[in-house]
Amino acid sequence: MILFFGKKLLDMLLTLLGITFVCFLLIRLVPGDPVLLLIGERNMDPAAYAEAKQKLGLDQPIPVQFIKYVGQVAHGDLGTSVVSKSAVWDEFKERFPATVELSLVALFFATLIAIPLGILAAVKKNTFYDYFLMGTSLAGYSMPIFWWGLALILIFSVKLGWTPVSGRIALEYDVPVRTGLLLIDSLSSEIREAEGLKAFWSALQHLILPAIVLGTIPLAVIARMTRSSFLEVLGEDYIRTARAKGLKENRVIFIHAFRNALIPIVTTLALCFGTIITGAILTETIFSWPGIGKWIVASLTSRDYPAIQGGVFIIAVIIVLTNTLVDLIYIVLNPRMKKAMLK
Amino acid sequence: MKEFFSELWKDILKNKGAFAGLILILLFILLALLAPVLSPYSPDEVIDGALRLSPGATFQNHYFFLGTDDIGRDLLSRLLYGSRVSLMVGLSVVLISASVGTSLGLFAGYFGGWSDRIISRTMDFIMALPSVLFAIVIVAVLGPGLVNAIVAVSIVALPNFTRLIRAQVLAERNKQYVQAAHLYGASSMRILFRDILPNCIAPLIVQASLGFSDGVLNCAALGFLGLGAQAPTPEWGTMLSDARSYMETSPWMVNTPGICILVVVLSFNLLGDGLRDALDPRLKNRT
């Protein structure tokens, strides 16, 4: 067991090292002089250039540069944005809560709808419901969400005027940052005294469309996974036994089958993280949502390479950490795998 | 081999979804091939004064079935030529990622040891980054453009093929026919490509179909972000992105390319999904 955990952690460290290496290479592979790219200038006088080069450590051999870079990254120094001139880590920190809030609400919405639909499709296998639900979910899975977002804006914001087109909250509300999640911050006592629930309502209105757009693909994936997971479990002997005992169908499905069917669903949910980040890049661009997705695209447009380098690094690290964590939790939760491991 | 394909054909006929997918794909290919014949105008032809006309509009003896865009080009013609771009993108992504990915998977699975470790680790690494983010990194280095977007999306798709084939080879490697070939003195290359590979065809076809849809979708997403095909290429994602500013007054400019992308991606997913159900022996006999 310990050996296995050790191997997993070693794998993780190797992947992290690989990510660091790619991010390190990024700036050196981009056409152009890395010194100018990192400073963000087109032309510099020779003296200032030499000084900058030395300060950035770019006058040293590549292996030394890499070791230095690893050291810097380990200390949380991800460089300085050439556009805002502030630390990349601070830029990231400022925007991360917006993405977290959007992603959490999207996943919540997706799971809430997907699991019942998946169960329905499995229970009504090969009926109209099943075909309809699975057809729809395949369409959801194939959805170009950058169009889906625009189509929803057209219908709900432009035609019906139900939701705002962009941003996180109406400008008139000045919500002090506590958690960075506006749905929670807007419920703080001072805001409630001043504005009642209006600020919260505004934040929610801004969040609905982006969350639906971002949740669409995970919804489809989770619904399909729930269906196949349930079909597998419903074919097991213990389900037949439960039915033979004369238990009500609802009890068989929601008590007996649900628990076992849940394991692969939870895994799928955790592995949706990558899909969510990809989706966030597109969704945030469409809705001008001030999160990390929009930030990275904007950095790319303004050729802010230190920001791209740092942003990609942090996202990759978060994903690798979640994936490893999911692997480990999965093993702890699943007694059969634990047994196999201990043998 | 012939038997395999006639069996496959029967499976497709039985699975309604796969069949519908196949019909849509054939239609899509036909439209792409016949684009020069079917298009009323050239995709870059600007008709003076015919700005953002709605679908079905007529303007000085010109008829625009799907309307025109912001500089007066016929949308139907652009979408038809766009299907060529998408077909080319999907094919290139599948060909590149399938050939490279399959070869890597064959080597990793067959030789094991260091080659396996290096290849598998690299694939894990590619999978650690979300696809569009990874593609963004590659495009950041190579610069925006359709070809670079295709390269980026192909690299992102590599692990799907490599892991699939590697697992398949691990299962086949110790079977008797492979050992027999060894005893016959067949070279490793011959065994890999002549004996083992044909037995991996079924999952490879499924993955190719799903890979096509991923490729089209990811390239369109890069186009939408301004990192893929550049104007005036009639690429659907790029067209959609260019049309954003006119979304409220001319929604057809946004909706038509969006629906095209959805239908093409969906049809390849339908086919791939149906084929997977048909070809997976575990699913085949499930009641």
pLDDT tens digits for A125-181?
889 999 999 999 999 999 999 999 999 999 999 889 898 888 888 877 877 888 888
pLDDT at residue B30 greater than cutoff 50: yes
Residues 190-249 of A with CB under 8 A from B: 231, 235
Mean pLDDT of chain A: 85
Residue contact A142–B269, C-beta within 8 A:
yes
Nearest Cα residue in chain B from A132? B17
**Confidence category of residue A341, pLDDT binned at 50, 70, 90:** low
> For testing the chain B interface, which of A21, A150, A159 should be mutated: the one with the most B CBs within 10 Å?
A150
State the alpha helices, DSSP H only, in A124-159.
Answer: 128-141, 145-152
Q: Give pLDDT, residue A102.
A: 94
A150 touches B at CB < 8 Å: yes
Reported as type and span, the H/E element at residue B116 is: helix B113-128
Q: Give pLDDT, residue B281.
A: 60
Complex ipTM value = 0.88
Residue contact B269–A235, C-beta within 8 A:
no
Residue contact A138–B221, C-beta within 8 A:
no
Say what the alpha-carbon torsion angle A311, A313, A316, A322 is, to the nearest 10 degrees.
-100
Residue contact A154–B287, C-beta within 8 A:
no
Residue contact A144–B265, C-beta within 8 A:
yes
Instruction: Compute the distance between CA of residue B280 and CA of residue B285 in angstroms, rounded to an integer.
Output: 9
A37 touches B at CB < 8 Å: no
Asked which of A103-112, A266-275, B169-178 is least confident by mean pLDDT, the reply is A266-275
Smallest Cα distance from A113 to chain B, Å: 21
* DSSP code of residue A18: H
Residue B287 Cα to chain centre, angstroms: 32
Amino acid of residue A8 = K
Instruction: Compute the distance between CA of residue A81 and CA of residue A239 in angstroms, rounded to an integer.
Output: 58
Span B90-105, pLDDT tens digits: 999 999 999 999 999 9
Instruction: Compute the distance between CA of residue A134 and CA of residue A122 in angstroms, rounded to an integer.
Output: 10
pLDDT above 70 covers a percentage of chain A that reads 96
Residues 6 or more apart from B54 whose CB is under 8 A from it?
A: B67, B250, B252
E strands in chain B? 57-59, 62-64
